[in-house]
Amino acid sequence: MNYIPKTGSFEGMKLLNQSIVLNVIRLREPISRAEIAKITKLTPPTVGSLVNELIDQNLITEEQSNSSKAGGRRPIMLRINYSAHFIIGVYAAAEVISVILTTMNGSVIFEYRKEINKLPSKDQFMQMVKECIQHVLDETSAKRDLIIGIGFAMHGLVDPEQGLAIFSPHLHLENIPIKEILEKEFSLPVMVENDVRALAYAESWFGDGKGVSDFVCLSVGRGIGSGIFINNDIYKSSYNTAGEIGHTIVDINGPRCQCGNNGCLEAYASELAIINKAEKESDSGSDTILREWKKDSEITVKMVFKAAGDGDQLAQSILEESGRSLGLAAANLINILKPSKIILEGSVFEEGDFILSPLKEMIGKYTLRSSNEEIPVVCSKLGKKGMVLGAVTIILRKLFAAE
């Protein structure tokens, strides 16, 4: 059985020893066969056989070492051939569908984005997804038998085992069988994950979480979510729904959230919450430049930040309140989990310190820490690209048996 069958399915990856060898090469390249045997505890003949199979499948390459031991023969070193196969990553939110084609090290070959202008039905949504994926395949002329699989990062509640989008609050859709539909359409294996958990996977491989065993991603956009990374893996819970920090309750008598409850963090600190508060306050007669600006166009988050930067006190107070709410949520996460790092993702963290400063202030004020504890709070360098790159990463983790 080939390691990656021409059908592109994951059946060949059940050969665990091949996955182990491949992952050791990825982590330690360039590396010799002898070193692989020492690390994996596999016998040298077994390693030699596995390596030869991987070479035959063009997954690894050989090169002569620049040095030798005690004047002997220079060992043959092994590297991953990252360009041998490709991966499709898909990120779907309420406002956009983003699709990329990458090599096996996450290097993007082609990307395509399609805006969602109005809420689609299930069928319309999946038709858009299929069209986006097909567009990438057509534009890149990627050979189907060289594509390992499709990773899909979906907002809302997701069942990764079933490949099912259980509930997508911003799309107002339920029970979308993403895996079943796309595997039937493209004859490729499909893996589905929540978008923020996918982001955490991307951070662990390519971003600020690389080499960190325990961290939390806090993502703020139209909604708010978290990806909890513990002992080098995502914590999902038995129900695959862990991390929905946006739907923890700030005030039971607070504003109504899109999930149907009242007083969720998302209703206080998301981009939509910022816009709604700015709209409401500017309509109520508050002294703000936003009242004039909204005569020409609808209020956006960028407009609120610009007003705050121009000294508008209402805009500043709205953003500071959002920062304090997020800071309290982050402080609670830290007190419960004690991660080594907090990674913040979202455009609201890229627009200056109006949200970031009160967030960090609340963390400093409300976390219980010993004298030697220092938990860095950093802004993601991957940004929104991390979501779709995370979709690719869930396939990479399967390929390299990283778990």
Among the four given CATH numbers 3.10.20.10, 3.30.420.40, 3.10.150.10, 3.30.1490.20, the one describing domain 86-203+386-399: 3.30.420.40
Q: What is the pLDDT along the chain (403 residues), one digit of tens a residue?
A: 233 433 344 444 336 788 889 999 999 999 999 999 999 998 999 999 999 999 998 999 998 877 665 556 778 999 999 999 999 999 999 899 999 999 999 999 999 999 999 999 999 999 999 999 999 999 997 888 899 999 999 998 999 999 999 999 889 999 999 999 999 999 999 999 999 999 999 999 999 999 999 999 999 998 999 999 999 999 988 888 888 899 999 889 988 888 888 999 999 999 999 999 999 888 877 788 888 888 888 899 999 999 999 999 999 999 999 999 999 999 999 999 999 999 999 999 998 899 999 999 999 999 998 878 889 999 999 988 999 999 999 999 988 865 4
Distance (Å, whole) CA 269 – CA 265: 6
Respond yes or no on whether the N-terminal peptide bond of residue 30 is cis (omega within 30° of 0). Answer: yes
pLDDT of residue 7: 39
Distance (Å, whole) CA 305 – CA 308: 5
Fold agreement (86-203+386-399, 210-380): yes
DSSP state of 247: G
Q: Report CA-CA distances (Å) from 211 to 185, 204, 282, 370, 401.
A: 37, 7, 46, 23, 17
From the CA atom positions of the chain, what is the Rg in Å?
24
What is the strand order of the sheet 164-168 is part of? 157-159, 164-168, 173-176
Domain map (residue ranges) of the chain:
11-80, 86-203+386-399, 210-380
Among the four given CATH numbers 3.40.50.720, 3.90.1150.10, 1.10.630.10, 1.10.10.10, the one describing domain 11-80: 1.10.10.10
Helices (H) and strands (E) in the chain, counts: 13, 16
> How far is the first Cα of the chain from the last one, in angstroms, to the nearest whole number?
22
Cβ contact 271:304 at 8 Å: no
Give the CATH number of domain 210-380.
3.30.420.40
With tokens 């996977």, the residue in question is 201
Distance (Å, whole) CA 299 – CA 147: 43
Distance (Å, whole) CA 348 – CA 352: 8
Which tokens go with 161? Answer: 């085992």
